[in-house]
Amino acid sequence: MAELHFFTGTMDSGKSTLALQTNHNHAARGRLGQIFTAHDRAGEATLSSRLGLTHEAIEVTEDFDFWNHVVRTLTQGGRIDYLICDEAQFYSRTQIDQLAKIVDELQIDVFAFGILTDFRSLLFPGSSRLVELADRMNVLQVEALCWCGKRATHNARTENGVMVVEGDVVVVGDTPADEDGARAERDDFSAIISYEVLCRQHHRRRLTAARAKAVSLAPEPLPFG
């Protein structure tokens, strides 16, 4: 029986790498699948991992209809045994419902990969619906770490080095690597957008690695007596 799988974890936990590996494993057994993504760091219609691996994909836009796409492919003589759906947190609740319908009505396996919460610590609509509908939910075992060494549980966004908790939910960052190994999106008109994983304590305090470093390097207060 086909199933709807949801693989989740924070950033840096290897979701996109696992998506690519899952596709490889199924393709190696002679199965034919299709890969989908949305707002990937590498650009439109590309699934990329932080290890540098990439694969062509179908871009999931706001008005993309999974059901119509799959039914049209099948009626035209195509074959689809499974779907790989990366960055599924950005899909709408309706699109997740379409994926569940594909599993139930067409008996096609769906493997969805995405983070649970945004930079405000609120559930993404797509991830929320996946939690509600998935036959299997898998939390990735590769633990991302906060700068303090504790397990990272929250995703943080910084603008020009300052952590923010307000703004548009979907803002693509995490593009060319900077000197600290972090990733950022730069142009002449917008802020430098970066993402970082933190433990709950430091997310609550808005204490990023850069800010912690700055505090630790601050001069000691002068003694008075």
Taking the C-alpha atoms of residue 124 and residue 116, their distance in angstroms, rounded to an integer, is: 6
CATH number of 4-139: 3.40.50.300
- Write the pLDDT tens digit of every residue in 97-128: 999 999 999 999 999 999 999 988 899 999 99
In the prediction, which pLDDT does 181 show? Answer: 35
What's the confidence (pLDDT) of residue 217? 61
- Cα distance between residue 105 and residue 28, in whole Å: 26
* Total-model pTM: 0.76
Nearest to 36 by CA among 123, 98, 106: 98
Q: Which residues are catalytic?
A: 87
Q: Which of 215, 205, 210, 214 is nearest to 194 (CA)?
A: 210
The pLDDT value recorded for residue 127 is 97
pLDDT given for residue 219 in this prediction: 55
**Below-50 pLDDT ranges, the chain:** 175-189, 225
Domain boundaries, the chain: 4-139, 154-216
Name the token pair of 158: 């910084």
> CA-CA distance, 217 to 70, in Å (whole number)?
56
CA distance 118 to 36: 20
Cβ neighbour number for residue 189 with a 10 Å cutoff = 4
d(CA 223, CA 225): 7
Cα(6)–Cα(130) distance, rounded to whole angstroms? 7
Rg of the chain's alpha carbons, rounded to an integer? 20
Contact 195, 39 (CB under 8 A): no
Pairing verdict, β 46-48 and 154-159: unpaired
pLDDT digits (tens, 9 = 90+) for 133-166: 999 999 987 778 899 999 888 999 988 878 988 8
At residue 113, what are phi and psi to the nearest 5 degrees?
Answer: -130, 130
Residues 89, 90, 95, 99: is their CA dihedral positive or negative?
negative
Spatial neighbors of 212 by CB under 8 A, at least 6 apart, are 147, 148, 202
By the 8 A CB rule, do 35 and 86 touch?
yes
Q: Which residues are 33's β-sheet partners?
A: 82
